[in-house]
């Protein structure tokens, strides 16, 4: 049995800015796990077959994967594996213009059980709840 979760957010930024927040290593460090005490790092090789890694070594958390499909600035598909775990899941993110913003839809699939899905649902909710503030704060910068 494969279990999935679906998360949607409407963001007050263009798909290009949201794309950059999702794919630029500096941007990822600014909103994904931003607490200074976490020591968040990110590495991104943004191409189909390229790899990514986001880590917060001070709190011993990290995730890595491989990009399966990269269609800037509208679709990003990547494998997802938590450090220390063997299970690999799949994340598909779609960005669609909506009014003056972007509708982000995230589908995280291939969970072996509902409990794992629910843990990841909370994590995605926490991370995506931080994204609008980061987008607003960086509106006039290079991002």
Q: Which residues contact 128 (CB under 8 A, 6 or more apart)?
A: 7, 9, 104, 106
At residue 130, the 3 state secondary structure works out as helix
CATH of domain 3-137: 3.30.530.20
Task: Tell me which residue of 66, 78, 130 sits closest to 107, measured CA to CA.
Answer: 78
pLDDT digits (tens, 9 = 90+) for 81-138: 999 998 899 999 999 999 989 999 999 999 999 999 999 999 999 999 999 999 999 8
pLDDT digits (tens, 9 = 90+) for 1-17: 679 999 999 999 999 99
Residue 31: predicted pLDDT:
94
- Model confidence, pTM: 0.93
Domain boundaries, the chain: 3-137
pLDDT digits (tens, 9 = 90+) for 46-71: 999 999 999 998 889 999 999 999 99
Residue 140: predicted pLDDT:
63
């Amino acid at each position: 049995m494969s279990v999935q979760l679906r998360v949607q957010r409407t963001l007050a930024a263009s798909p290009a800015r949201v794309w950059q927040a999702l794919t630029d290593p500096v941007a990822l460090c600014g909103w994904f796990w931003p607490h200074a005490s976490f020591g968040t790092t990110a590495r991104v090789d943004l191409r189909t077959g390229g790899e990514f890694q986001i880590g917060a070594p001070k709190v011993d958390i990290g995730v890595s994967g491989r990009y399966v499909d990269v269609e800037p600035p509208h679709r990003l598909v990547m494998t997802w594996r938590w450090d220390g775990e063997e299970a690999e899941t799949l994340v598909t993110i779609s960005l669609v213009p909506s009014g003056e913003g972007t509708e982000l839809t995230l589908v995280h699939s291939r969970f072996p059980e509902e409990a794992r899905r629910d843990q990841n649902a909370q994590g995605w909710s926490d991370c995506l709840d931080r994204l609008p503030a980061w987008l607003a704060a960086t509106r006039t910068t290079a991002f």
